């Protein structure tokens, strides 16, 4: 196990609602990244947080936002949910000592939008 935890495990929402997903990083890690994995696809990078600031973002609209807290845990918020937001959301933590660092993933949150 990586020590990265995510909550909740599963979530069902309806279109238009808002959702918050949570991630606790591995001890000693200060960087958190979020990925969206649609069924049958590889994970897609949403954004990354380092020292409580977003320092990189993929091709996702502004209704995807996040936070990182002083203890390095993180939240992913999605507003105005759409059916296509149904996916597995994966959080990964790493130690930002350079660009060589390996990202360790949590178990994911499976979001279903009806």
Instruction: Examine residue 90 and tell whether it contacts another protein (CB under 8 A).
Output: yes
What is the 8-class DSSP label of residue 99? S
Instruction: Examine residue 108 and tell whether it contacts another protein (CB under 8 A).
Output: yes
Partners of 81 in beta bridges: none
Q: Which of 26, 36, 68, 94 binds another protein (CB under 8 A)?
A: 94
Complex with another protein: residue 12 or 80, whichever CB lies closer:
12
Give the separation between CA 24 and CA 18, rounded to whole angstroms. 21
Residue 16, SS3?
A: coil
Q: Which of 13, 45, 73, 75 binds another protein (CB under 8 A)?
A: 45
β 31-37/44-50 pair status = antiparallel
Instruction: Examine residue 60 and tell whether it contacts another protein (CB under 8 A).
Output: no
Q: Which of 104, 111, 113, 114 binds another protein (CB under 8 A)?
A: 104
Complex with another protein: residue 58 or 67, whichever CB lies closer:
58
- CA torsion sign for 107, 24, 43, 63 is positive
In the block, tokens 């002083």 appear at 70
| Least distance in angstroms from the C-beta of 16 to another protein | 26
């Amino acid at each position: 196990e990586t020590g990265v935890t995510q909550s909740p495990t599963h979530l069902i929402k309806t279109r238009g609602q808002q959702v918050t997903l949570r991630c606790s990083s591995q001890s000693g890690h200060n960087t958190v990244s979020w990925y969206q994995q649609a069924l049958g696809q590889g994970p897609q990078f949403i954004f990354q947080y380092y020292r409580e600031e977003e320092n990189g973002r993929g091709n996702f609209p502004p209704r995807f936002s996040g936070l990182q807290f002083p203890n390095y845990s993180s939240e992913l918020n999605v507003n105005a949910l759409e059916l296509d937001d149904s996916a597995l959301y994966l959080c990964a933590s790493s130690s930002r000592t350079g660009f060589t660092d390996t990202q360790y993933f949590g178990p994911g949150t499976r979001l279903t939008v009806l």
